[in-house]
Structure 1
């Protein structure tokens, strides 16, 4: 049984699936994994006919702790330590910093067919919905301190209270320390040395902790949020799920202070880029918006779902990774087309769809599209029609157009120079005039064999290229190096059979003959 369907099968009663994010900068594709995982759990519960609601919270009362490198440092540095909902928007179209960056992320939700009910922490605080929980945690501050000590070995002073005031003087929330509570007001100090990224102003005084005047520390806030919105299922990333980590602390606070069982939880792994965990505030990796601009929505969902949640995804949008992603997706589409029964193997494909149906199509190889787009003077649409095994339906054409756009985007933004196909059509490449005798003999023989081929198709050409290496007992690597140097001026390239199939037969044979002649004339000069 697929992992999400198992969670759904075990769930009893009304379920509230919740996920959340602090929009401290551009939201990176890594954060999408949790979103898609929770969306699939929600869908699995619906398919199991269990009553369910899907919520997504915006933790916008958290402090701005870093100015991302892509923003003006001078403009935003004065707001370090402020609640991010109180920081100005980087551009027009949003009322504040938090809504600007979460707005970008929500556009990606829509693109992926993800439709949770959303809520903002500022509204829960300012409307008073968290007031009773703030009071409970302040009155039981000793229990919260005990949990920190027992679970995460973190010592809190006896006068530490789980609350951070928005300083009435300077507006910062990261720098305030609460040291007393009299049942209606807290005493706080805006400590100049509270953090290493901004300084408090030194102000102190008594203030009501209610109606948005401050916030709970996030591990305590997590518990309050679960109770207020009724969360029953919330997964968490590996960093929060380690022994003694954030989730363990929150679970213990829920049990010890509220006497309530925490929501169902199972950890999931990160998405890495070149082995580095992505960070919103540091701008490391690719944003969710950028990756959504590259991949069709079903492929982006599939990227998240073809791997078990507890397995790391290392997404590097290079040629090998992206072509394999499309190839794996197409393999499952073909399997479903041949036998439309939802086996466990096909469940990632099923949950990758934006709706509840798998709409099959005639797959067109993505790596071939990347190559075709780089052949000069080629009409890509006509070439796809000619190369397709059957006439394209309207939906087939829609998918092809989507993939052409993805291939163009990849070539523009992600392809290394080594991965780009630069065909030398007008002249013989410089590096092809220094081939070995063995390579020259191979090209000569291949030109002869190509004269006799009747079907100028990629697979047949590839077979002939291989059979010629066996005929002359030439190492394949040696032969292919000669071919790529003859057409691309570099030692590597796409499948040679595919490359030849994009070109006129007469041109390919003529080029091989020219390279052979060039090398033979060079040998005569040397003699």
Structure 2
């Protein structure tokens, strides 16, 4: 297998890694980036992701993690020390009750405005609060995907006073922050260009894809009678952020606030008070400076004029004396056969959902092969079979050396990390074949093993474990994503009415097929047989090139076989179906 280093000529991950290393050298000239501790060494290279566990963390959110992961992994492969920081924005306010989440009801609305870590988890959850419930499912998936990271809880950071000096500094410079924000508040919104309807829908979907994240609020604080403040206390009475600061003294750090929700009011010393946080447009750049972040991507909603990433670049330099990270915009991730993803609308597929129907390397590959600004779809419908075919074809190109460099790099990044190879299926049989077999057998292991062993009689499968985990993923796809009415049910008895209505040519076609079963009993052999019968009927040689007329005859023959075997005009690929049904039962159903 080629290494990433051999295949990076046109690889976007390598180009970003080059930029990150160069930026690290710029920030600490004369030192080797990521060289660790020591008087002549630079800090470890930091790349970052931010995830708000406000609901199911979906496959669009995964791009926020996968993009820096791939770049960090490339930097590690080059021998540098790098830290991938995932900031859990669990001290964000609970904004709305999401749809489609089991174990909750309308009563959760009473918690709107409280930190995510102060909201009860859905009923029946083993986790102590809302944020931990939704973090847990994602962390399991990240482990399966081979993603190495350091997680930081913003609840823990703020309530421990970790950012105290940064909070006090922001409050002292609140006038300067307000002036920066005002540069964008006073700008006229850019005129929208005429859009095609399809383009408009895609852009709207992209802008909503980050819904549910802390960043989605684009909160820059507010100005009241006493001025602008970049800090928001959580109320000491009701625990919500429905508070307004009424006064603040820079010298004593005495802060007074009132709560619009419950009427509570108090005066505290901000130098000792830990129940609040900087507003988002100040919080994000503060953390860039505090953590020394060199690379962090952002969604399309953060890249417009006046958005948090653009404004953050001004604030991190002018207020906190830091540098804005290299920040590529990442585009929308869709689901094949589903509407666009939004955490608040419910039913959005998560990484855990995807990993039930596809192996981790395939999911990694979908993110690795596309530049961050390219949108793509993840298949939960029949398209997953084509994706697996494409993946298997790539593996064959890797094996015979015909692969393009960028494709080889994406494959290497998908199948392993700097820490080693990801688990893989020993005998990766075609996904569509596995799906057809488990569809027909309803997962019966003995029958499944018999059929899979017949696929290649010269090298029969000796155990289903050889086909796992791909076999299990295909079975999960059939049982969870394929509607019951689309499942394959083999007829119990022959369709005598149809058989007696056939003309002589159709009967001869069935006879040729039945007579050739034993001598063609393998996947390749049966493929040759079912395509060859119409050629023989037409008086053509077995290797004859298909004509328009022959293709019509083949489709007609295939439809007849499907009706006699499964009572429909279509079904799984016929060679697989024949293997699954078994020669004796095929003969019976075809009237032999």
With the shorter chain as reference, the TM-score category is 0.7 to 0.9
Query: Following the alignment from structure 2 to structure 1, what is the Cα–Cα distance between the partners of residues 304 and 178?
Result: 20
Partner of 1:24: 54
Displacement of 1:106 after TM fit?
A: 0.9
Partner of 1:160: 228
TM score, norm. by length of structure 1:
0.86
Q: Does 1:307 align with 2:395?
A: no
Displacement of 1:342 after TM fit?
A: 8.9
1:383 counterpart (451, 455, 463): 451
Counterparts in 2 of 1:148 and 1:277: CA distance versus 1, 3 Å: farther
1:8 counterpart (3, 9, 17): 17
2:154 counterpart (121, 125, 128): 121
The answer to which of 157-166 and 51-60 deviates more is: 157-166
Q: Which runs of 4+ in 1 moved over 6 A?
A: none
1:160 aligned counterpart, secondary structure: strand
Pairwise mapping of residues 351-362 of structure 1 onto structure 2 (< 5 A)? 351-355=413-417, 356-357=420-421, 361-362=426-427
Q: Does 1:105 align with 2:105?
A: no
The answer to which of 293-302 and 400-409 deviates more is: 293-302
Query: Following the alignment from structure 2 to structure 1, what is the Cα–Cα distance between the partners of residues 185 and 347?
Result: 28
Displacement of 1:418 after TM fit?
A: 5.0
Pairwise mapping of residues 389-468 of structure 1 onto structure 2 (< 5 A)? 391=459, 398=465, 400-417=467-484, 419-428=486-495, 432=498, 440=503, 443-453=506-516, 454-468=519-533
2:322 aligned counterpart, secondary structure: coil
Counterparts in 2 of 1:48 and 1:144: CA distance versus 1, 3 Å: same
Counterparts in 2 of 1:139 and 1:52: CA distance versus 1, 3 Å: same
Partner of 2:164: 131
The 8 Å contact of residues 453 and 461 in structure 2, kept in 1 or not, is answered as: no
Query: Following the alignment from structure 1 to structure 2, what is the Cα–Cα distance between the partners of residues 147 and 389?
Result: 72
The 8 Å contact of residues 425 and 466 in structure 2, kept in 1 or not, is answered as: no
Q: Which has the higher contact order (CA 8 A, sep 6+)?
A: 2
Displacement of 1:17 after TM fit?
A: 0.9
The 8 Å contact of residues 236 and 268 in structure 1, kept in 2 or not, is answered as: yes
Query: Following the alignment from structure 1 to structure 2, what is the Cα–Cα distance between the partners of residues 391 and 79?
Result: 60
Q: Does 1:190 align with 2:259?
A: yes
The 8 Å contact of residues 299 and 329 in structure 2, kept in 1 or not, is answered as: yes
Unaligned stretches of 5+ in structure 1?
A: 192-199, 515-527
1:324 aligned counterpart, secondary structure: helix
TM score, norm. by length of structure 2:
0.77
**Cα offsets for 1:122-177 (capped at 9, x unmatched):** 1211222211111122222222223333235589547221111111121102x223
How many residue pairs were aligned? 499
The 8 Å contact of residues 36 and 304 in structure 1, kept in 2 or not, is answered as: yes
Unaligned stretches of 5+ in structure 2?
A: 1-9, 23-32, 35-44, 188-219, 539-548
Displacement of 1:480 after TM fit?
A: 2.9
The 8 Å contact of residues 452 and 460 in structure 2, kept in 1 or not, is answered as: no
